[in-house]
Amino acid sequence: MKFRTRVKEKLPLYKEDDALHTASPRKKGATRPKWKFYWRHLFMLLCMWIMLINYYERTVVKRVIKRCEWSKWEKWPSDVNSHRVGLFADPQIMDAHSYPNRPWIINYFTRVILDTYHKKNWKYVQYLLEPDTNFFLGDLFDGGREWADEEWLGEYVRFNEIFPKVPSSRTIMSIPGNHDIGFGNTIREESLDRFSTYFGEPSSFYDIGNHTFVLLDTISLSDEANPDVSAVPKSFLNDFATGDHPLPKILLSHVPLYRNPEQQKCGNLRESKKNFPLQQGEQYQTVIDLELSQEVLSMVTPVILFSGDDHDYCHITHSYHSDGITKSAEEITVKSCAMNMGIERPAIQLLSLHNPLEDSSRSSTTSFETDICYLPDPYKPLTMYALMLLFTIGWLVYMCIFPKSFNKLVANKMGRGHSKSVSALPLPVSSKSSVQSASSVYTVQETPKSGNVLLNAAILSIMVLCVFSYYYASI
């Protein structure tokens, strides 16, 4: 009987068969993943961006506007229901005329930033301060006088999207500025007619809050070359002076009235340390002529007047003669509400009116109170966004170009409490022990890859731009 002989096989020694269970080394030239998407780090950075954007685009705006609450500066008795007015000067919304030599992409993003600054301030002023009436003091557009009708109508629609009418308040925008129609002898009549058609009669008056607001087109009144232009405001001024207007009068003009800068100082709320400028140039003049200024004051007899054009604050007192009596009137040149007008802190002017009907004929200045309302710092958010951008770039470069150092100094410390599980006792198998140092879920692959910087930066950029788009679109 034959027996089958069994070949004796040598049993492998401990770990001798590891090579059988270990993946063969990658052959030279074999492909391997080049780029890696580190979603945990991007999510963390995105959250930081969202918190920063929300803080400066919402929280700061609300907080700054609330500092202007009427109750913080009005001195009326607690039971008084005053009429509250917001004055907005020189929004001068940016258009293609503003920066013609800049690349279009820079102009596009600049316009988005400027428009958003206007929109959020307008929204929070209307819904937090709730003025009863709003007046714009001219220079609504930057290149309004230059545009043909088609382009101008596009800017008109855009302006009303930035400053939409609020049903609970009255908004009057009929005062033109030199950027809207030109100035004096160089006024463009077609631009003036177009502005009047869409925004209303430039010279008019309104009885509001037991006061008479006199809106005067002093730019057209200064035209000595074209009587068709100057005749309209002259006729209005004569009719107003001969009419019966017993209420205290408040004059609104785009261009300030004449003053002697050496004697009439603007006060410490003005940013510029220089005297108020007396200048004249193409399509502008910083003040109305002396004789015309005195004529306007004597015919209107205002208790106070507000102007724009200069972009910076100025508070002076005028003296004038009316009916043989020397009178005085304060003038406040309102700061621009735009962030690109050469001032650090844009602002609006708030005006509170209280003139009881039983004493409605009085002309005392106690019938009104006014205060400057600073708008949010327009440049600090941009600075913080730039710093956050540098931090983001630094994080991505350090993570992808110096991964070993990043893992050791950053990732492992970030992952405390969120480390990968580690077996307490190694299993007695031939594979490598599962005992390893605790590694963080934030650990990155330790092979430097410059492509990872580009991939993660591109993805994060898209997400951050989406966040900005949401905040800008939801104003």
pLDDT, tens only, 251-306: 999 999 999 999 999 999 999 999 999 999 888 899 999 999 999 999 999 999 99
Return the number of other C-beta atoms located less than 10 Å from residue 186's C-beta. Answer: 15
**Sheet strand arrangement including 211-215:** 204-208, 211-215, 249-252, 304-307, 325-333, 314-322
d(CA 331, CA 263): 14
Alpha-carbon dihedral angle through residues 109, 111, 117, 118, given to the nearest 10 degrees:
-160
> Which two structure tokens, joined as six digits, stand for 445?
């692959």
Report strand pairing: 211-215 vs 204-208: antiparallel
Q: 130: left (phi > 0), else alpha (psi -120 to 50), else beta? A: left
pTM above the 0.95 mark?
A: no
Report strand pairing: 368-374 vs 211-215: unpaired
d(CA 199, CA 163): 13
User: Which pLDDT score, from 0 to 100, does residue 37 have?
Assistant: 76
pLDDT, tens only, 421-452: 445 455 555 444 444 444 568 787 777 878 88
> Which two structure tokens, joined as six digits, stand for 453?
């910087």
| Mean pLDDT computed over 16-23 | 50
The number of angstroms, rounded, from the C-alpha of 313 to the middle of its chain's C-alpha atoms is: 19
Q: What is the DSSP string of 246-285?
A: -S-EEEE-SSPPP--TTTS---TT-S--SPPP--EETTEE
d(CA 473, CA 374): 24
pLDDT, tens only, 50-94: 999 999 999 999 999 999 999 999 999 988 999 999 999 999 999
**Overall CATH class of domain 74-374:** alpha beta
DSSP state, residue 72: G
pLDDT, tens only, 341-374: 999 999 999 999 999 876 544 445 489 999 999 9
d(CA 443, CA 435): 17
